[in-house]
Structure 1
Amino acid sequence: EYNAVVSEKAAESNNLVQDKYITISLTRRSIEEARTYFHRVDADLSKTFGQLDSGARPLENQDRLRIFHDFFRPGEEEFFHFDLSDAMRKGHDFRNYICPDSMQFKADHFELGGQVGRVLFLREYASYLKDEMISKLSDFSRNLMLSIDILPIPTSEAVKEMQARILGIESDIARWQQKQNSSNNFTASVPYELEQLRAESKEFLDDLSTRDQRMMFANVTIVHVADSLEQLDADTETLQAIGREQLCQFSVLRYQQEDGMNTALPYGLRRIKTTRTLTTESTAVLMPFRVQEIQDPGGIYCGVNAVSKNLLVCNRKKLLNPHGFILGVSGSGKSFTMKEFITFIALSTGDDVIIIDAEREYGDLVRALRGEVIEISPNSPHHINPLEIARGYGAGENPIAMKSELLMSICEQQMGAGQLGAFQKSIIDRCTANVYHEFIKSGGTARQPLLTDWRSEVKAQPEREAQEVALASELFIEGSLNMFAHETNVDIGNRIVAFDLYEMGEQLKPTALTVTMETIQ
């Protein structure tokens, strides 16, 4: 049933795998200078993407060739194999391993092997772009390559260019006014177009000089591939419709399909001159990152991504800190989600599942999964001995000292905060060491001590404080709440264990939690 649920959820998502590459191309005098620059850029990109909780790594030649092989030979992805030393020995060119069977470029499309493709470019931009456009284009369920070419202009050049442009506009306005004055029209206002150009140019210069913006030349190209020309035309119409929704116009590159394809592919080439001037802020809208996908190998299903509708498959064990919370308003399904997680972990991993069940809501599930439900209450037949020392307990620390600390904690809960003084703590520590004497001496083969043994040892001490400790501990050792003063009679070794604390009153619940945590440890 769970497989059916997850399969149904997976079918609702677009099931697309998106690869995002950053290609940096530059001109340098020598290969050494270029290597130094790229080495610095690698470190900067890794650091900057790390701040976005993402990551970037440089690609090896093998990975780069695989990108082109997968594009030029669709359907043959699994057959890619390239060994550089083997190719050199045979005298083969690396292009033989990635090139398609045939390529032919037409006016408005190209043929690639048995498929057809088309290159589009972003002709007209909207006044206000949203980041939705790039993500919607990326979500289109076809083999598609979307490329955003960005050419940063040095700020000094950009400022000089804008100052020259503003000077030109002011000259146009001055000439227009001279022309009006010569016609004795001294009250005419400057035309709207010139006024708008002047305001926009000044705003652009202000962005560059005071708001620390950069001038960019941007160019958006899309290559999409289909099995037939009819399908290609339909896909082109869909992509153009997505652009029109955002008030942008995509057009086909007429007689420039080859140059367009070389621009779109991650060679780092710019073969078409369709750039548009943008500031840093405007360019940032052309952002392919809109949502973080979580799909860890070996993880469990945690729901559906609200933005992309893809499955969230999370393996918390791969995190630095694998703790998690389930938060939500009442009735939103927190308990159900927790039960779902427990079921997934039980069915798909070999991990232990330990549940502290304060509201008695996991018992039925644990029994159905053949786990052990341990009811901790005055009326329960189940008993846990908090003084039991299992193999490996303490992980290198002194187990007697840890048990002494546990008993101090329990006694303080019964006597009240701050009531346990140094005398009482010394007595508790001495008695704890005494009751474990035989057990330690036998190398762990003797009977495990019980709380009743410990209380008898406390009563045997001559100090007055010892009698106070014995009296305070009477309630949960020999009184009506003595469920911890017996030998353990439940299967703690079961893979799935639930500790049911539902019937514990407020008075003893802290003690029950302390003993439960000790048992788990």
Structure 2
Amino acid sequence: MLQILKLPRREPKKMVGWNDELVIRPDTPLTPAQKKQLAKAIKRAKRDGKIAASAQQTIPYEEMYQNGVCSLGNRLYSKSVAFEDCSYAEASDDDKAVIFELYCRLVNYFGPSVAFELSVVCYYPDMAEYRKILRIPSTGDGFDTIRKEYSDMLLSKAGLCKTERRLCLTFTVEADDVRQAASRLEQIEADVLVRFKGIGTEAHGMDGYERLLLLHQCLHLDEPQKFRFNWDSLTGTGLSSKDYIAPSSFQFKEGRYFRVGPSVGAVSFLQIRATKIYDTLLNALLNIESSQIVSIHAKALDQGAALKAVKRKLSDLDKAKIDEQKRAVRSGFDMDILPPDLVTFGKEAEKLLEDLQNHDEKMFMVTILLVHTAPTKQKLENIIYSVNGIANANNCDLIRLDYQQEQGYLSALPLGVNQVEIQRGLTTSGTAIFLPFRSCEVFQPGGLYYGVNAQTKHLILADRKTLKCPNGIVLGTPGSGKSFFAKKEIANSFFATPDHILILDVENEYTALVEQLQGQVLYLAPDSQSYLNPMDLDLSTDVGESPMLMQADFLLSQCELMMASYGNPLMPIEKSLIDRCISLVYRDYLKRPTPENMPILGDLYQCLRAQDNHTADDLATAMEIYVTGSLSYLNHRTNVDLNNRLVCYNTSKMGQGLKKLVMANVQKHIWQRTTINRYAGVTTRIFLDEFHMLLKEPQTAAYTAEIYKRFRKWNGIPTSLTQNVKDLLASPEIENILENSDFILMLNQGASDRGILAQRLGISPQELTHVTNSGEGEGLLFFGDKIIPFVDKFPRDTQLYRVMTTKPSDLAA
């Protein structure tokens, strides 16, 4: 590929033009005579004002407007759309085919009148900004040392990612004025956003400030600087937006390098030699841990002109074939034996014509530019050497733009300006094969820490409150890190948010952490002195239903569980008798709602005895073991502080005779606490360990499903943990629970469970590897419609780890 520059004639008093031709080959050094000619041309251009006198003048746009429209000069205007990454690298082959087809439709949307530029900007993370985002403010509650320790740990995790990416698509149109351009660009933007939504990635139109911020990052790749700008500063000051984004200096004196601020850089173009390009090429080029810009300029040819050009080429090839056949006949050779290149070119041209005519393909003229910067030339050459090795492995070459570094660098900026006249013709699918997608990211300032993206090393910071249904489920085999994850989220919530936290602890996993954080632990056991009254009634909040009706329904379910132990379900007459007695025992409390008037189970028992009814006597007799017998633990008024911000219901020592009743009682108190918090504007986080046990009995299963349906509206965020996937999926209520859960954290899974979950949740074989024989703290995070492979190696030399761990080896140490 050649770039032709024309030198000025040696005529006196004539404006410098480019008439004498100087052919510059990107892969061939200039001769001394050519360098001398070029130097004279540049000297004359400087004298006549053809070369920018300042860094601001170098930046190739005229004005940036607040709505994101940029005037480029020569009647050209551009606008940009920023979009997020999506799961592609580990998607299934079918999903990849769908994403590629949808991206082809996006590329095909652009016609001959609209040029577009895909920009991928890789830059070093701003650790000062991360420090502000990840810092947990001190509160003076005695835990500030742990808060600082946790903040420092998060900052160290953020440093694992060496570079960050920003993706944007810029499109350029011609217009007579900015008003006409804005109308056209806004319509294009709306259409592009619809197509990105179809792909499954979030996108938005960039306003002027956001575009300037991105340009500022591109112009300061190796020297992160705070972007300080507001539109008011341009009024009456004589300043332009360029003054806020320009680097300290530009230097384009050397043919193979340029300097921007303190950094040295080089611009190359990608020369494609391969007959087949793979969708992994772009991400392979971007995997180098250095600051860089990859810019892909594309503009469609008129379809009629493209077809004529291909047909003309086919005619030329046919003529060449005939000439070869004539030559073969004259020489006495077989006329059917043709040169391999001629046969290959003919087949490719025929396929291209078929694609253009019948497969909805267009022909695009494409320029692919790569900008790399580094503090020194040596480091820069090392980076370019590595990138060139990746390009060569894909049958491509990285060619330096000798003596066109300025044009190349300015063309790589996300403005939609292409000053490099080196192009390659590609079809729609050939252009779309440079997919910028890799893996989903979730980074929400103010969110909680969930590990590091296993592919990109980016910190995963997520706020479940932003989900439509923040309910969550944690799945994993024993030893995979389920309880440690829950403790980490509990601690993070406790230190960084004002949320209240309630824990159902059936295996004594969370008591140490709760006590360390000065929370309230309720030891619910037959020999315990901590009591939780199942008859507690809260009249302070309005939940849309009569509190008495809800309490009656709950107590009926408790009686159902009591009778179920005898193998006899409640009959309608028995339910009516119990319901009558419930109204009677609460009569005094409703008149004067004080703690001493709160009834207990024994009051309901005495009321049944007083009914002078044989059936009521039978019910009272069945209840007697829970009132005066060996299971009378529930026959007490509540004597613990349930207003503590952190409450743990420890049922690890509860026998089988009371476990179902106590579980249901805990669920009711959790619901009451959630409703109270909701009216106080407080979020309640609920952690339910060994979740499958709650789904074994129809009563507790139905109540749990109801919690998952209604908690979202009541500002509650339940999280359930279990290791028994088969038991979980066997429950008829699990469908409702899964449908109302937008947060699923999956750790290592057994072989049989993996197959079930892969089919149920649509997990690809590549994604499934992250939960196959994986280590502690490794797995998949389902956050809304995103699937993110994660790794969380929590540092063991921290005070918080020593409190959270349950590993015998750690406890022994």
TM-score by length of 1: 0.89
Alignment of 1:60-139 (within 5 A): 60-72=207-219, 75=223, 77-78=225-226, 80-84=228-232, 86-106=233-253, 107-139=255-287
Question: 295, 302, 312: which is aligned to 1:147?
Answer: 295
In 2: Cα distance, 1:122 partner to 1:317 partner: 44
Equivalent residues in 2 for 1:24-39 (5 A)? 24-28=171-175, 34-39=181-186
* 1:111 shift after superposition: 2.9
Residue in 2 aligned with 1:42? 189
CA contact (8 A) 1:438 1:446 kept: no
- Map residues 373-384 of structure 1 onto 2, 5 A cutoff: 373-384=521-532
Provide Cα deviations, 1:196-240, integer angstroms capped at 9, x if missing partner.
Answer: 122222333333444444433332112233334444333333332
Aligned residues of 2:227 and 2:244 also touching (Cα < 8 A):
no
Deviation of 1:445 (Å): 6.3
In the aligned structure 2, how far is the partner of 1:432 from the partner of 1:336?
A: 42
SS of the residue 1:424 aligns to: helix
Could you give the per-residue CA deviations for residues 422-450 of structure 1, whole angstroms, max 9, x where no partner exists?
33333322222222221111255652111
Counterpart AA for 2:172: S
Judge conservation of contact 1:394–1:402 (CA < 8 Å) in 2: no
Q: In structure 1, what is the equivalent of residue 337 of structure 2?
A: 189
Q: d(CA) in 2 for partners of 1:61 and 1:463?
A: 81
Of 435, 438, 443, which residue of structure 2 is paired with 1:290?
Answer: 438
- Residues in 2 aligned to 1:414 and 1:41: alpha-carbon distance in whole angstroms: 66
Question: What secondary structure is seen at the aligned counterpart in 1 of 2:373?
Answer: strand
Counterpart position of 1:55: 202
Cα separation, 2, equivalents of 1:464 and 1:217:
92
Greater Cα shift, 490-499 or 235-244? 235-244
Q: Which of 445, 449, 452 pairs up with 2:599? A: 449
**Aligned residue for 2:418?**
270
> Aligned partners of 2:323 and 2:477: how far apart in 1?
68
Name the SS for the 2:476 alignment partner.
coil
Secondary structure of the 1:19 match is strand
Higher strand share: 2
Give the letter aligned to residue 68 of structure 1. L
2:660 equivalent to 1:513: no
Q: CA deviation at 1:399?
A: 0.7
Instruction: Write out per-residue CA displacement over residues 261-292 of structure 1, whole angstroms, 9 at most, x where no aligned residue.
Output: 22111111122122223333333332222112
Task: Provide the residue aligned with 1:476 in structure 2.
Answer: 626
Q: Which amino acid aligns with 1:302?
A: Y
- In percent, how many aligned pairs have the same letter? 30
C-alpha distance in 1, partners of 2:207/2:412? Answer: 20
- Further displaced range: 384-393 or 29-38: 29-38
The aligned amino acid for 2:272 is E
Gaps of 5+ in 1: none
1:299-448 pair list within 5 angstroms: 299-390=447-538, 392-393=540-541, 395-416=543-564, 419-444=569-594, 447-448=597-598
Larger deviation, residues 281-290 vs 252-261:
281-290
The alpha-carbon deviation at position 420 of structure 1 amounts to 2.5
Instruction: Kindly state the Cα deviation for residue 256 of structure 1 after the two structures are TM-superposed.
Output: 1.4
Q: 8 Å contact 1:110–1:118 — kept in the other structure?
A: yes
Contact 2:364 2:431 survives alignment (8 Å): yes
| Alpha-carbon displacement from aligned partner over 1:317-362 (angstroms, at most 9, x marks no partner) | 2222222222233332222222232233333333222111222222
1:87 to partner: Cα distance: 2.7
- Three-state SS of the structure 2 residue aligned to 1:218 is strand
Cross-structure match for 1:461: 611
1:503 corresponds to 2:672:
no
> Does the residue aligned with 2:215 lie in a helix, a strand or coil?
helix
Equivalents in 2 of 1:426, 1:255: separation in Å? 94
Q: Does structure 1 residue 220 correspond to structure 2 residue 368?
A: yes
Classify 1:176/1:285 alpha carbon distance in 2 versus 1 (closer, same or farther; 3 Å): same
Find 1:165's aligned residue among 313, 316, 319.
Answer: 313
Asked whether the equivalents of residues 288 and 383 of structure 2 are also in contact (C-alpha less than 8 Å), the reply is no
- Report if aligned partners of 1:384, 1:483 keep a CA contact under 8 Å in 2: no
Give TM-score scaled by structure 2 length.
Answer: 0.59
Structure 1 residue 175 and structure 2 residue 314: aligned?
no
User: CA offsets per residue over residues 103-160 of structure 1, 9 Å max, x none?
Assistant: 3323222233444322111123544444444334434444422212222345555444
User: Match of 1:448, as an amino acid?
Assistant: M
Which residue identity is paired with 1:54? T
**Aligned-partner Cα distance in 1 for 2:481–2:279:** 33
**TM-superposition CA deviations, 1:59-115 (whole Å, max 9, x none):** 22233233334444664732532435x534244444344334443323222233444
8 Å contact 1:82–1:97 — kept in the other structure?
A: no
1:12 counterpart residue number: 160
Query: Secondary structure at the residue paired with 1:81?
Result: coil
Separation in 2, partners of 1:37, 1:469 = 78
Change (3 A) 1:312 1:481: same
Separation in structure 1 between the aligned mates of residue 454 and residue 360 of structure 2, nearest angstrom: 35
Cα 1:185–1:70 shift into 2, 3 Å: closer
Distance 1:100 1:6 in 2: 32
